[in-house]
Amino acid sequence: MSAKSPVTTHILDLGTGRPAAGVAVTLNKVLGGQATRIAEGTTDDDGRIMNWFDAPLDAGHYRLTFATGSWYQARGLDTFFPEVSLDFHVADTNAHYHVPLLLNQWGYSTYRGS
């Protein structure tokens, strides 16, 4: 797939100052409290998922879930967060939504990227 997905993500491990490669991520649409999987992927060597699906998004509530616990466990490290779920709202179906995750073992931060 060569076109950039309408939703992309990038994870930086603030504990090491490096991209978090190999993190499993799922994207779900949430409707009426029920989550339906739209896409799943794994971050590349630069900590990014850019081209995991190319279907347009409907307006609505979406959730990115990052498997942080298993990622840290594979590195022999503990973490307070077995997973990180980030909910966001898609209003403009023609827009691109970039959702970065800044992560360490004991906390995280996010924002709407560009």
Could you tell me which residues are annotated as the binding site?
10, 48, 111
Annotated binding site for substrate: 10, 48, 111
Distance CA 63, CA 53 (A): 15
Task: Give one word for 91, left, alpha or beta, with left for phi > 0 and alpha for psi -120 to 50.
Answer: alpha
Q: With contact defined as beta carbons under 8 Å apart, do 20 and 43 qualify?
A: yes
